[in-house]
Amino acid sequence: MSSARYPELTPRRKPIKRAINQIVLFVLGRAVQSLSRYEPRIRHEVATWPENFTLMLVVRPKGGSLALRRTTEADLRYLGSHFDPAQADVVIYMKDIESAFAMFTGQLGIDMGYARHCMCASGDLSNTVSVVRVLNTAVAYLFPAFIARRLMKRLPPTPFWQKQARRLRTYLLGVPFGI
Amino acid sequence: MLPDYYEFHFPVKLLSGHTALNNLPGELSQAKVHRPLLITDPGVMRAGLIEIVRNAFAETEITFGALYDQVPPESSTHVVNELAELWRERGCDSILAIGGGSVIDTAKGVNILVSLGGKDVRAYRGAETLPGPLRPLFVAPTTAGTGSEATNSAVIADPESGVKMLFVSEFLLPRVAVLDTRLTLTLPPRLTAATGMDALTHAMEACLSIQKNPVSDAYAWQAINLIRLHLKQAVHTPADKTARLALANASTLAGAAFSNSMVGCVHSMGHAAGAVGHIPHGVAMNIFLPFGLAFNLPSRANVLAELLLPLAGPEIYASTPPISRAQRTITAVHELKDELHALCGLPRTLQEAGLTREQLPAIAKLAINDGSAMMNPLELGFEEAMQLAEQAFA
């Protein structure tokens, strides 16, 4: 038998999806940082987190990450994509690039993502539900309502023009400049 | 309806019977272990259940490396860490847990430390991140409600921070669970009723959850069926062995169901009421169950209608018009609560359980941050939680 007939089968690479995931992680990190300064629901949630509480989202394997830290002013600071998971209080791992892509592109909500075992987490999970509410609130600003409605059980109730103004501010100032 | 994707994992070997413990030594031999650490609590010792265990292991080569009988009602990281030291000191090679949810969760925590190394179990908290299989764990539940013998999770309190830490991993599941009638025969009627309603809540919420799947549904249905047939009988006649064994099975089946599909708002409310009002978990489940079902009615009417069959039996199901079945399911739970109240005085409302109206906002505030709320079909916000608390109050 010639073993040359049976080549190694190496995993396919998905550089475009990986790149999109990394871009969304950056946008999400900056957007949450910005919204945490003026969005009342997010501010209310973050105020309940312990000071310096650090949250990380990591896409496995090697699919990018984001880290957010609760500051003394009770808002969130985006710490970039090269944070050490060992230093975070909670690390939420997306188990694979496809699940992360589905969640980051508005095809799958956080609750259903967890229900479908797309995620696992290490650390103190006592703030998990609050973290999910913060992320869902941010998602409601980042995606149009007809997409966001499919991603969560109930859209956070925000008056139309207030929502558009905050959305504009998030996209024009929050994401590019982090303010 | 099939979900787009689901997972189901239940590798636990069940030994069920009136003298099932007698078959446990063979299971230890098959696992090639002969020196387990025996973990239990003072209640089990007082009830004399350890003698049943000693008799079951008579004439074997198996020696318990140590008998630890001081597990508190709420498992704690301190106890887990101490027990891991004891396990190492005595050269144990496995764990046998005899007790309720706290004992079994403690044993799961000890198993993490003795298998993966380390001195503080807090280092391993999290969901689905434990690396690799653990040591053989054998459990024999002495209550029929928590289903811990069939779940992939453990809740262990950290006395320093006051936080209840969650550990979730498929590796936490025991190798063998023993359902022996003799271990639950001494449960008093009210505790039997409360734990039975806990099991019923596990099963019904598993069917409603957003993680529900056809396999967990099958386990949950059988659990509900067994509870309908045997719960009232076990409360009325505690010495009825058939009813006891049926409830032990129902609890395990419900545990396997919710371990794979999670629970929902009834547990969120119940955990919160337990923390604020210090009421037993089973009592809280009994109080909130029909209100939680009614809350989810708008999104789960079909499921609730189907559950009427195992919950109320074929005659009632067949005689109820399809459009009324979901509401009839909720009514059947109310009726069961009333019957259990008449039989053993199990509280039906928060007021009967000794809570005051002033405690309701604190319950609602805690409930919306409980992890179970995530898997509930509908969003549980503060207003909804307050509404549930008000309904359950009186």
Which one, of B356, B229, B345, B245, lies nearest residue B286 by Cα? B345
**Domain definitions of chain A by residue range:** 15-177
Query: B16: distance to nearest CA of chain A, Å?
Result: 31
> In A, which residues are within 8 Å of B4 by CB distance?
116
Measured between alpha carbons, how far is B91 from B39 in angstroms, rounded to an integer? 15
Residue B268 pLDDT exceeds 90: yes
Question: B338-352: per-residue pLDDT in tens?
Answer: 999 999 999 999 999
> In B, which residues are within 8 Å of A126 by CB distance?
163-166, 369
> In B, which residues are within 8 Å of A122 by CB distance?
125-127, 129
Query: B169: distance to nearest CA of chain A, Å?
Result: 10
Contact B330, B266 (CB under 8 A): no
pTM for this entry: 0.95
Measured between alpha carbons, how far is B391 from B384 in angstroms, rounded to an integer? 11
- Name the token pair of B126: 């999290």
Query: B22: distance to nearest CA of chain A, Å?
Result: 38
- Nearest-Cα residue of chain A relative to residue B377: A153
Contact B275, B366 (CB under 8 A): yes
Measured between alpha carbons, how far is A131 from B168 in angstroms, rounded to an integer? 18
Question: A53-79: per-residue pLDDT in tens?
Answer: 999 999 998 889 999 999 999 899 999
What is each CA distance from B309 to A19, B9, B254, B320, B325, in whole angstroms? Answer: 51, 26, 17, 10, 9
Residue A179 pLDDT exceeds 90: no
- Name the token pair of B118: 């380390």
Cβ distance B165 to A126 less than 8 Å, yes or no, reads: yes
> In B, which residues are within 8 Å of A128 by CB distance?
371, 374
Residue B1 pLDDT exceeds 80: no
Cβ distance B126 to A125 less than 8 Å, yes or no, reads: yes
Residue with tokens 């969650």, as numbered in its chain = B166
Contact B173, B341 (CB under 8 A): no
Q: Which CATH class is domain A15-177?
A: alpha beta
When the pLDDT of each residue in chain B is averaged and rounded to a whole number, the result is: 96
Residue A109, C-beta contacts closer than 8 angstroms, at least 6 positions apart: A103, A136, A139, A150, A151, A152
Query: B368: distance to nearest CA of chain A, Å?
Result: 8
Residue with tokens 């609130």, as numbered in its chain = A137
| Minimum-distance CB partner of B371 among A115, A128, A154 | A128
pLDDT of residue B162: 79
DSSP symbol at A159: -
- What residues of chain A have any CB closer than 8 angstroms to a CB in chain B? 48, 93, 111-112, 114-117, 119-130, 132, 152-154
Measured between alpha carbons, how far is B49 from B167 in angstroms, rounded to an integer? 28
pLDDT of residue B160: 86
| Minimum-distance CB partner of A115 among B125, B211, B378 | B211
Measured between alpha carbons, how far is B213 from B259 in angstroms, rounded to an integer? 12
The arithmetic mean of pLDDT across residues B295-303, rounded, is 97
Cβ distance A116 to B4 less than 8 Å, yes or no, reads: yes
Cβ distance A123 to B381 less than 8 Å, yes or no, reads: no
**What is the C-alpha R_g of chain B?**
20
**Distance from the first to the final alpha carbon of chain B:** 37
Residue B24 pLDDT exceeds 90: yes
DSSP symbol at A37: T
Q: Amino acid letter at B141?
A: P
| Minimum-distance CB partner of B374 among A114, A117, A127 | A114
In chain B, what is the greatest distance between 2 CA atoms, to the nearest angstrom? 64
Cβ distance B163 to A126 less than 8 Å, yes or no, reads: yes
Phi, psi (5° rounding) for residue B76? -130, 155
> In A, which residues are within 8 Å of B153 by CB distance?
none
Which one, of B55, B99, B57, lies nearest residue B74 by Cα? B99
DSSP symbol at A179: -
- Nearest-Cα residue of chain A relative to residue B259: A115
pLDDT band per the 50, 70, 90 thresholds, residue B74: confident
Per-residue H/E/C for chain B: CCCCCCCCCCCCEEEEECCHHHHHHHHHHHCCCCCEEEECCHHHHHCCHHHHHHHHCCCCCCCCCEEECCCCCCCEHHHHHHHHHHHHHCCCCEEEEEECHHHHHHHHHHHHHHHHCCCCHHHHCEECCCCCCCCCEEEEECCCCCCHHHCCEEEEEECCCCEEEEEECHHHCCCEEEEEHHHHCCCCHHHHHHHHHHHHHHHHHHHHCCCCCHHHHHHHHHHHHHHHHHHHHHHHCCCCHHHHHHHHHHHHHHHHHHHHHCCCHHHHHHHHHHHHHCCCHHHHHHHHHHHHHHHHHHHHHHHHHHHHHHHHCHHHHHHCCHHHHHHHHHHHHHHHHHHHHHHHCCCCCCCCCCCCHHHHHHHHHHHCCCHHHHHCCCCCCHHHHHHHHHHHHC
| Minimum-distance CB partner of A124 among B125, B369, B379 | B125
> In A, which residues are within 8 Å of B211 by CB distance?
115-116
pLDDT of residue A102: 96
Cβ distance B126 to A122 less than 8 Å, yes or no, reads: yes
What is each CA distance from B339 to A156, B80, B151, B336, B342, in whole angstroms? Answer: 41, 39, 29, 5, 5
pLDDT of residue B19: 97
- Nearest-Cα residue of chain A relative to residue B123: A123
pLDDT of residue B163: 81
> In B, which residues are within 8 Å of A154 by CB distance?
378-379, 381
Burial class of residue B78 (count of CB atoms within 10 Å of its CB; 0-12, 13-18, 19+): middle
> In A, which residues are within 8 Å of B3 by CB distance?
116
Query: A130: distance to nearest CA of chain B, Å?
Result: 6
Residue B97 pLDDT exceeds 90: yes
The arithmetic mean of pLDDT across residues B225-254, rounded, is 98
DSSP symbol at A70: E
Residue A41 pLDDT exceeds 90: yes
Query: B164: distance to nearest CA of chain A, Å?
Result: 8
Q: Does B163 touch chain A if contact means CB atoms closer than 8 Å?
A: yes
pLDDT of residue A125: 85
Contact A20, A105 (CB under 8 A): yes
Q: Give the alpha-carbon dihedral of A86, A90, A94, A100, to 10 degrees.
A: -110
Question: B148-191: per-residue pLDDT in tens?
Answer: 999 999 999 998 887 888 999 999 999 999 999 999 999 999 99
> In A, which residues are within 8 Å of B77 by CB distance?
none
Contact B119, B65 (CB under 8 A): no
Mutate to test the interface with A, among B129, B169, B260 (most CBs of A within 10 A): B129
